Structure 1
Amino acid sequence: MKALALPNARLAVMLMLTATFFIASSTLMAKLASDPRFGTPLHPLQISHGRFLFAFVLISAVVTATQQKISRPNLQLHTARSLLGWSGVTLMFAAVAFIPMADATAISFLNPVFAMVFAIPLLGERVGPVRWSAAAIAFLGALVLLRPSPASFEAGALLALGAAVFMGLEVILIKRLANSEPPLQILFVNNAIGLIIASLAVLPVWQMPSPSQWLVLAGVGSAMAMAQFFFVNAMARAEASYIAPFAFTTLIFAAAYDAALFGAWPDVVSGVGALTILSGAGLLAWRESHLKSAASPSE
């Protein structure tokens, strides 16, 4: 089936940046759900379940209001994508319970690098030296933020790294789906399958959330639903190897939340890392613009 969204690199970037704001917001609320101030800390599997539950409710309401028809979804591809997404999100929620949110985000959002690499064999995309260089710059920025040391290999860091791998693979499947199905259908089917997976996984650890925790879980799901909407629309308008690295800007929002709510103000090292990541993303944007103006298929 023909792609349902016209290529538009600049719009794709704006959509991705909006998605990163909601991704960071969802991670923030997941961290709050494991905060003792809101009651007995919830297990990551229960936070993940809340994410899928409330996201599904919100997206179902939109599907009903817009009378979106669900037509011949690729259930095999959707199931694989949902399993990867559930795994990545759950590992990320577990990671932020152990280490600062900005650090967990820095590690987990190495997923654009994994996505760019996976796009070569799985999507047949061509990645030239400029994109490799831009990804390397962004990766270096993430390493600066991570501050590599023996402590970087603690449980929380390894959980975040696992999240990065799963999310990188998920990006590839999102791209394949975005080329054949409308974004709202992708979101509806993904969250429906994800809710089934999360509901089965949460059974052994389920506990009744407090009223404030219910509100936090609703926030997790709503923010993630918005993030998915903008993310899928971004992926439908540009190559995965080009648009995925812009997800690194989630680190900026995560650092801002850490500073505003937890008093963890970014230091010089954090600033250097953030600017390095933005430099890599900016190089990708410049290269894409140059390629389109020159009407050249090469990279």
Structure 2
Amino acid sequence: MTSNTSPSANQVIPPPLHEVNGSNLLAVVLMITATMFIAATTVLAKALGTTSLGAPLHPIQITHGRFVFAFLALCMTLPAFWRHLNTKPNIRLHIGRTSLGGSGVCLMFAAVAHIPLSDATAISFLNPVFGMALAALLLGEKVGPWRWSAAAIALTGAFILLRPGPDSFQPAALLALGAAFFLGVELIFIKRLSGREPMFQILLTNNFIGCIVASVAVIAFWQPPTVQQWIALAALGALMACAQTCFVNAMKRAEASFIVVFSYSTLVFATIYDLVIFDVMPDAISILGAITILTGALLLAWREGRAKL
């Protein structure tokens, strides 16, 4: 998919990666920060989709709240970023990105309501693998043996945490798998948009379109939320807005095939939240899986650093 939209004259576009010292490091920090917020939204989605805060909400209603409150959070900062809205949006790319991302998020919210958070998170780690493969196919990015090896190591850690067995084949696990695919394809749209439009415009347009689509879809599934659920929905949307801001900035500063591997750190934060909030102590398998995932990410970071010497 191509676009006739070109960056405006006064838009600041980062120079090529090989000309920017520390660009990859900043991208890694932004991506890890994004995963911290993403893990928190998944915890909130699980609470909303179960009886923790009242009668369970449908995944589409949770997704609707995610878009509405994220859009409101971004609108609150609109005066500070108004001058950045200086490029005509590529509506086709935005609709494609929002459709894929919204579908992926909705499927993920449905999955975490029925299977353990660690299982759903582990399955979702296929998302960066899909993204990396599609980046090579559609964006022409070079994915060498070191990147493939690092991704394979991290994916092995995800399967360790999945604890393969009969429970892995329950229907809800397939929802998480579908979420991973949709979110992986969305990475390509995000990468294309990040080189054409200002970051804030991408986030605002994405959440605006999401609000419209989700508001229509939620009509058939709406039920009055409790006070606690309203608070959780608002927090979910605000955290997602923060996650998107960090994520898009990370994608803008590094190749997709490099930076998406670091999204595996979502599992680390999910484990921490389980321990702090639900008093769930990670067992030996959880620790082994987390170490394996981090090994893959660190191997990739080390190789990238050696290549630039």
Do they fold alike, i.e. is TM over 0.5?
yes
Q: Which amino acid aligns with 2:112?
A: V
Q: Is the 8 A contact 1:102 1:258 kept in 2?
A: no
- Cα deviation, 1:25-56, whole Å, max 9, x if unaligned, reads 11111111123232211111000000000000
Q: How far, CA to CA, are the matches of 1:122 and 1:56 in structure 2?
A: 30
Number of the residue aligned with 2:71: 56
Number of the residue aligned with 1:66: 81
- Work out which of the residue numbers 28, 51, 57 in structure 2 matches 1:13: 28
- Cα deviation, 1:165-202, whole Å, max 9, x if unaligned, reads 01111111111111111111110011111111111111
- In terms of mean alpha carbon deviation, does 73-82 or 195-204 score higher? 195-204
Q: How far, CA to CA, are the matches of 2:230 and 2:171 in structure 1?
A: 27
Quote how far apart the aligned CAs of 1:158 are. 0.9
Q: Which amino acid aligns with 1:22?
A: F
- Cα deviation, 1:227-252, whole Å, max 9, x if unaligned, reads 00000000000000000010000001
Pair 1:243 & 2:259 matched:
yes
Number of the residue aligned with 1:297: none
Number of the residue aligned with 2:13: 4
Pair 1:223 & 2:239 matched:
yes
Secondary structure in 2 matching 1:207:
coil
Number of the residue aligned with 1:155: 171
Q: Which amino acid aligns with 2:13?
A: L
Root-mean-square deviation (CA, aligned residues, Å) is 1.3
Q: Is the 8 A contact 2:126 2:180 kept in 1?
A: yes
- Work out which of the residue numbers 144, 149, 167 in structure 2 matches 1:128: 144
Pair 1:173 & 2:189 matched:
yes
Q: Which amino acid aligns with 1:41?
A: P
Q: Is the 8 A contact 2:87 2:198 kept in 1?
A: no
- Work out which of the residue numbers 131, 148, 154 in structure 2 matches 1:138: 154
Q: How far, CA to CA, are the matches of 2:171 and 2:218 in structure 1?
A: 21
Q: How far, CA to CA, are the matches of 1:106 and 1:36 in structure 2?
A: 23
Q: How far, CA to CA, are the matches of 1:274 and 1:110 in structure 2?
A: 15
Q: Which amino acid aligns with 2:205?
A: V
Quote how far apart the aligned CAs of 1:69 are. 1.8
Quote how far apart the aligned CAs of 1:291 are. 1.8
Q: Is the 8 A contact 1:46 1:202 kept in 2?
A: yes
Q: How far, CA to CA, are the matches of 2:236 and 2:73 in structure 1?
A: 12
- In terms of mean alpha carbon deviation, does 190-199 or 65-74 score higher? 65-74
Number of the residue aligned with 1:27: 42
Q: How far, CA to CA, are the matches of 1:33 and 1:64 in structure 2?
A: 32
Q: Which amino acid aligns with 1:17?
A: I
Q: How far, CA to CA, are the matches of 1:130 and 1:212 in structure 2?
A: 47
Q: How far, CA to CA, are the matches of 2:293 and 2:191 in structure 1?
A: 23
Q: Following superposition of structure 1 onto structure 2, how do residues 191-270 of structure 1 map, counting pairs within 5 Å?
A: 191-270=207-286
Quote how far apart the aligned CAs of 1:61 are. 1.7
Identity of aligned residues (%): 56
> Which consecutive residues of structure 2, in runs of 5 or more, have no partner in the other structure?
1-5, 18-22
Q: How far, CA to CA, are the matches of 2:71 and 2:86 in structure 1?
A: 15
From the superposition, tell whether residues 286 and 162 of structure 1 become closer, same or farther in structure 2 (CA, over 3 Å).
Answer: same
Q: Which amino acid aligns with 2:213?
A: I
- Work out which of the residue numbers 127, 133, 140 in structure 2 matches 1:111: 127
Q: Which amino acid aligns with 1:21?
A: M
Quote how far apart the aligned CAs of 1:70 are. 4.7
Quote how far apart the aligned CAs of 1:254 are. 0.7
Q: Which amino acid aligns with 1:4?
A: I
Secondary structure in 2 matching 1:37:
coil
Quote how far apart the aligned CAs of 1:64 are. 2.8
Quote how far apart the aligned CAs of 1:146 are. 0.5
Q: Following superposition of structure 1 onto structure 2, how do residues 178-189 of structure 1 map, counting pairs within 5 Å?
A: 178-189=194-205
- In terms of mean alpha carbon deviation, does 28-37 or 99-108 score higher? 28-37
Quote how far apart the aligned CAs of 1:219 are. 0.8
Q: How far, CA to CA, are the matches of 1:26 and 1:269 in structure 2?
A: 24
Number of the residue aligned with 1:46: 61
Q: How far, CA to CA, are the matches of 1:66 and 1:166 in structure 2?
A: 29
Q: Which amino acid aligns with 2:71?
A: F
Q: How far, CA to CA, are the matches of 1:70 and 1:264 in structure 2?
A: 48
> Which consecutive residues of structure 1, in runs of 5 or more, have no partner in the other structure?
294-299
Q: Which amino acid aligns with 1:31?
A: K
- In terms of mean alpha carbon deviation, does 233-242 or 53-62 score higher? 53-62
Q: How far, CA to CA, are the matches of 2:108 and 2:303 in structure 1?
A: 31
